[in-house]
Amino acid sequence: MIQDPAASPNSAHTTTPDDAFTPPAGSSLWRRDFLLGAATASYQIEGAVAEDGRLPSIWDTFSATPGKVLAGDTGAVACDHYHRWEADLDLIDNLNFEAYRFSIAWPRVMDAAGRPNAKGIDFYKRLLGRLKEKGIRAFATLYHWDLPQHLEDRGGWLNRDTAWRFADYADLMSRELAGQVDGWMTLNEPWCSAYLGYGSGHHAPGLANVRYATQALHHLLLGHGLAIPALRANDPGSAKGIVANVGRGTPDSPSAADVRAAHLFEVQHNAWILDPLLCGTYPQDLFELWPGAEPLVLNGDMRTISAPLDFLGINYYFRTNVKSDGAHGFVEVPLDGVERTQMGWEVYPDGLRDLLTGFRDAYDNLPPIYITENGMASNDRVIDGRVDDPQRIAFLKRHLAAVDAAIKAGVDVRGYFVWSLLDNFEWAFGYERRFGVVHVDYDTQKRTIKRSAELLARFIAERRTRGTA
C-alpha cells in the first residue's frame, strides 16, 4: 500500500502548505472513524455492455440516439472497468481510500423475466470479495440510472409496476451479496432520474413533461420503500440508505419575491425528495411551481416511502443564484466574477455547510449523513507523465472544511466520498468533462494518478498514525 504517494517515483515535486490536505488541529477530519472514500457508477465506468448476458439499458438507447450525448459518445467501453476491475481496486487500495462506493448494473444481473444472471452477479461477488480482502468498506448503489430497457418499454418509472420490479431486484442482490456490503444505497439521485429523465429530457429516457417527472419520482421513491424491507431481511448486518443530490439556492436580491424564489428552488431540488422520505408527505409549495402536477399516490404509499433510514447520502456540487420569474417560480441569474468548474458550475463550499445545517434544523429525524459525491470537472491533461489539478485540490480542501464546519455545528456526518475515482462517461456530456482524481486515457485505458489523489492518499496515511479515535 502506498503510504506517501507524494514521495513516490511518479511524483515530481514536494507537497507545499498551499496544496497539502492537512486540516488544522481539532478538525473532525482527523477522526479515524470519519470515512474517506471514492465513488463510481456502473454505466460510467464498466463498459462491456453486451457481455456475459448484460441486457440493454436506457442509457445504451439514449446515448446511441444522435444528438443526445456530446460528440456521440456512449458507455459501450467507458473505462473498461469490467475487464480492469482488479487493477482499479489495487488503485483504490494504493491511494489509501478506506471505502469504495460503486453501483450494480441492474441489466447485468437479471434477465427480462427477472431471473438471475449468474455471470453478471459473479462479477460483483468477485469485486466485493477483493474489497473485503483489502479491508476496504463497500457501499453498493442499486440504481444509478441504468434502468433495463425492457422495463422502459413497459413505461419505465411512469409504470407503478417498475417499483415492484426494483424491489425484486433489491431482494435478489441482497440475498446474493449478503455479508459482503457495508452499506446499501437504493437509489442515486432520484431527482435526476425523475426530472432530467422525464421532466426536461436532458437524460435517459429523454421525456419532457413535468407531470411525468412527479409521477416518476413517486414510483422511484416507492421502489426505494419497497426495497428497504428486503434489504433488512436478507442482509441485516449492513446499513441501508438512499442518496439525494441537493442544491443551494440563493436570492439575487433581498426582496421578498426573490427570497421566495430561492425558497422554491430548494423546495424543488431538496424538499421534493427529502420531505416524503423523512416526513411522509410531498411539500405543497412544489405544486405552486407545478400546479396540477401532483402524482397519483395510493393508500399506504407514503408510509412505505418514509421507512426509517440508517443513513442519508448527500451529493453536492454547486449553488444557484435565482430571482423571481414574476409569477410563481424562479429563474437563474448567473453571478459574474465567481470561480467556476469545467461544467460551468460555481464553486461554493459554504452551500454544503448551509444545506447540512439547514437539514438538521428542518428534520427532527435526520439520519446520519455521508457525503456520497462531491467533486469537480476540469480539463486535465497528462504532461510529462503527471497530472496537476490545482483547482480540484483547492475545491476538495474547501469542501472538506465545509463538512468539518457542519459537524462542529452538530450535524452527524460520518464520511466523505470524492467524485470520482476515475475520469469517466459523464452522461449527456460524454467524455469531455473529467471528474476523476485519476486520469483515464480513453484510447489506451492508461490510468494516471492526479496530484489531488496523491495528496488525499498522503493525508489518509498520515491520519492513520496521527488521527484521533
317 known member of a binding site: yes
Q: What is the predicted pLDDT for the residue at 468?
A: 86
188 known member of a binding site: yes
Closest CA to 136 of 87, 101, 105, 104: 101
Mean pLDDT of the chain: 95
30 known member of a binding site: no
Position 206, amino acid = G
Position 69, amino acid = V
Give catalytic residue positions.
Answer: 189, 373
Q: What is the predicted pLDDT for the residue at 361?
A: 98
- Domains of the chain: which residue ranges? 5-466
Average pLDDT estimate for 284-288:
95
Q: What is the predicted pLDDT for the residue at 11?
A: 31
Following CA atoms 303, 367, 188, 346 in sequence, which dihedral angle do they give, to the nearest 10 degrees? 130
CA distances in angstroms from 338 to 138, 293, 344, listed in the order given: 37, 35, 10
Specify the CATH architecture of the domain 5-466.
Alpha-Beta Barrel (3.20)
Q: What is the predicted pLDDT for the residue at 143?
A: 99
Residue 245 has pLDDT above 50, yes or no: yes
- For residue 120 the three cell numbers come to 453478471
> What is the SS3 string spanning 155-219?
CHHHCCHHHHHHHHHHHHHHHHCCCCCCEEEEEECHHHHHHHHHHCCCCCCCCCCHHHHHHHHHH
What confidence tier does 304 reach under pLDDT thresholds 50, 70, 90? very high
Residue 5 has pLDDT above 60, yes or no: no
For cell 450525448, the residue is 69
Residue 395 has pLDDT above 50, yes or no: yes
38-54 pLDDT, tens digit per residue, is 999 999 999 999 999 99
426 known member of a binding site: yes
86 known member of a binding site: no
Average pLDDT estimate for 234-247:
98
164 known member of a binding site: no
